[in-house]
């Protein structure tokens, strides 16, 4: 029953969120087109509930700049001016309300990670897949990308083990203050985080 209530809240909130955020999303799309050109959106395969792969939607925040050998530059070097602003205020995440409506994601849960990371999880880390990934989560309001991978997985697993509707409400209440503080957006030298190569220890 709790999960049905959570899903109903997700559907209502995502629909309301898309309607409320429509002006901001229109402005973001226009800024990307005017300053960086198409495409406006960026999509990528991510891992969801029980390891199911889905297509994540975000506003595009990076260019396709390459070095002399044709290889993409580091993420931090490809982050655009508009993208920096969108990421600073988490506006690039707004299209994910569509993922919530589709059932790929929830408002609250562990952030969806790259599908390539799936074979690198320990048995304990795979527990983060027991719930739908979220737009915001326990990790996002407790350090975000300032944390290392082990700390992030520890917080994700704690959320899975202690999940309740009340906990989700606490996380949602802390999300806006966390966004306005703009802390933990990225680690030094990265647009977000370095690649997860696997954990050095089993939990």
Within the chain, strands assigned E span 41-47, 53-59, 106-108, 134-136
Residue 203 is predicted with a pLDDT of 43
Residue 80, pLDDT above cutoff 60: yes
Question: 132 near 196, Cβ under 8 Å?
Answer: no
The pLDDT of 19-23, averaged and rounded, is 96
pLDDT (tens digit per residue) in 101-144: 999 999 999 999 999 999 999 999 999 999 999 999 999 999 87
pTM of the model: 0.87
Residue 180 is predicted with a pLDDT of 78
pLDDT (tens digit per residue) in 139-169: 999 987 778 899 999 999 999 999 999 999 9
Residue 185, pLDDT above cutoff 90: no
Residue 1, pLDDT above cutoff 90: no
Residue 201, pLDDT above cutoff 80: no
Residue 44, pLDDT above cutoff 90: yes
Residue 35 is predicted with a pLDDT of 94
End-to-end CA distance of the chain: 30
Residue 71 is predicted with a pLDDT of 85
Residue 188 is predicted with a pLDDT of 54
Question: 114 near 47, Cβ under 8 Å?
Answer: yes
Within 53-99, strands assigned E span 53-59
Residue 200, pLDDT above cutoff 50: yes
Residue 94, pLDDT above cutoff 90: yes
The pLDDT of 6-17, averaged and rounded, is 95
The pLDDT of 30-37, averaged and rounded, is 95
Buried b or exposed e, range 46-60, using 16+ CB within 10 angstroms: bbbbeeeebebbbbb
């Amino acid at each position: 029953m709790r999960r049905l209530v959570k899903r109903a809240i997700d559907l209502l909130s995502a629909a309301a969120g898309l309607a409320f955020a429509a002006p901001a999303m229109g402005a973001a799309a226009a800024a990307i087109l005017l300053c960086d050109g198409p495409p406006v959106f960026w999509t990528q395969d991510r891992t969801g509930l029980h390891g199911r792969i889905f297509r994540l939607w975000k506003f595009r925040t990076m260019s396709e700049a390459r070095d002399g050998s044709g290889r993409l530059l580091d993420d931090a070097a490809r982050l655009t001016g508009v993208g920096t602003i969108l990421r600073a205020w988490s506006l690039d995440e707004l299209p994910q309300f569509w993922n919530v409506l589709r059932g790929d994601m929830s408002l609250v849960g562990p952030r969806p990670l790259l599908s390539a990371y799936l074979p690198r999880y320990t048995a304990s880390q795979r527990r983060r897949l027991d719930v739908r990934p979220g737009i915001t989560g326990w990790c996002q309001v407790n350090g975000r990308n300032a944390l290392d991978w082990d700390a992030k997985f520890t917080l994700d697993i704690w959320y899975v083990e202690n999940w309740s509707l009340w906990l989700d409400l606490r996380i949602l209440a802390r999300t806006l203050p966390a966004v306005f503080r703009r802390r933990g957006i990225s680690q030094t030298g990265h647009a977000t985080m370095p690649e997860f190569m696997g954990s050095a220890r089993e939990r």
